[in-house]
Amino acid sequence: MSVKLPWFVEKYQEIDPEYGRVVGEVTTRAMQTQALDDKTKHLVVLALDALKGADEGVRVVAGQAREAGATEQEIQEVLRLAYFAGSMSLVKTFLNAYK
């Protein structure tokens, strides 16, 4: 499977070709999963991008997940799980206001 590098990795390769090549290789290797199918891989990356607040990443990866066969329900569930995973530490921290 061919991996399309994110535009910002391609741009970085123009600025610093030597290190940009390394970043490109790591990106390619990470995205060439063997144990995970493409749909699952994109759903995982979607959750991670959502947690990071990567607006463009969420938009792009959601499209890639759909192209790989993800349903709207699967995307909704992944985003709900991302919210859950990212927010539980906040609830725990909230309790400090009541000590």
Nearest to 61 by CA among 50, 51, 77, 72: 50
Q: Where are the beta strands (DSSP E) in the chain?
A: none
Please give the model's pTM, rounded to 2 decimal places: 0.86
pLDDT tier, 3 (very low <50, low <70, confident <90, very high otherwise): confident
pLDDT at 1: 60
Instruction: State the chain's mean pLDDT as an integer.
Output: 95
Q: How far apart are CA 69 and CA 89, in angstroms?
A: 32
Tens of pLDDT, residues 68-78: 999 999 999 99
pLDDT at 32: 93
Burial of 44 (0-12, 13-18, 19+ CB in 10 A): middle
Burial of 66 (0-12, 13-18, 19+ CB in 10 A): middle
Mean pLDDT for the stretch of residues 31-57: 96
Mean pLDDT for the stretch of residues 2-27: 93
